[in-house]
Amino acid sequence: MKVNNITFVLVAPEGVLEEGTEMEVIQIDEKDKEKVELIEKALQEEKVAKYVAFDINLYKDGDARVKVQPNGKLQISLTIPEGFDKDKLAVFRIEEDGTRVKMEGYVDGDEYVFLTDHFSIYVLAEVEESDEPVEEPKEEDEATEDTDEDKDSSDKKDSSDKSEDSDETSTEKSPKTGDNTPIITYILMAILSGALLVLNMVKSKRKQRA
């Protein structure tokens, strides 16, 4: 199949496509504003220099054409447009919700070959490599974080130990209560003294009567 000087070839293993299934490819241009906006929003995080986009679908022949999906992975190859750098090519699938999926693919001569198991909007893009270095966590920062965590842990432990020591000290210094031994002694002594006093008085009266 040829679309605007770009040839598409579909190769599917046996059983992946139902009998009578055909591929339809429609190039997306600026006239289809809705799809263009969807594509550009999906690719905004990629450094895309240029791209071509196609709406690729499978239809099963019959009284009414029905859109279908393959039962497994198949291969699609397309001619690389003139002016595209072969070393910077990538194919993305654009989902209906605006997410992008980078496809597994490679350059084979003047064609780009990729595998897929789902049909939707596909973009062949020339992607510039990012100049921004990937930041990796520094060992010093990690060591500092570990030290801070150890310090916090140590502070919490010291605070806990101080609290326990305080509780023990408080317990030791608290006056004991409930020891009634001295009071009972005093009561018994008072009763005994009173009894002796009464006894002496009785003896004294008996002597007077005698």
- Assess contact for 75 and 119: CB atoms under 8 A: no
CA distance 87 to 89: 6
Q: Which two tokens stand for residue 161?
A: 């130990």
H or E stretch covering 91: strand 89-94
Sketch out the chain's domains with CATH numbers. 2-127 (2.60.220)
pLDDT surpassing 90 at residue 16: yes
Residue with more model confidence, 185 or 49: 49
pLDDT band at 175 (very low <50, low <70, confident <90, very high): very low
| β-pair type (21-28, 111-116) | unpaired
What's the confidence (pLDDT) of residue 65?
80
Residues 6 or more apart in contact with residue 152 via CB below 8 angstroms: none
CA distance 108 to 112: 6
CA distance 137 to 70: 43
H or E stretch covering 137: none
Weakest-pLDDT range from 40-54, 97-111, 153-167: 153-167
pLDDT surpassing 70 at residue 126: yes
Exposure of 124 by Cβ count < 10 A (0-12 exposed, 13-18 middle, 19+ buried)? Answer: buried
Closest by CA to 94, choosing from 37, 22, 31, is 37
What pLDDT digit, counting tens, does each position of 52-74 carry? 999 999 998 766 788 999 999 99
Residues 6 or more apart in contact with residue 92 via CB below 8 angstroms: 42, 43, 46, 100, 101, 102, 103, 122, 123, 125
What's the confidence (pLDDT) of residue 132?
40
What's the confidence (pLDDT) of residue 64?
76
What pLDDT digit, counting tens, does each position of 23-63 carry? 999 999 989 999 999 999 999 999 999 999 999 999 987 66
CA distance 143 to 146: 5
Per DSSP, 75 falls in state E
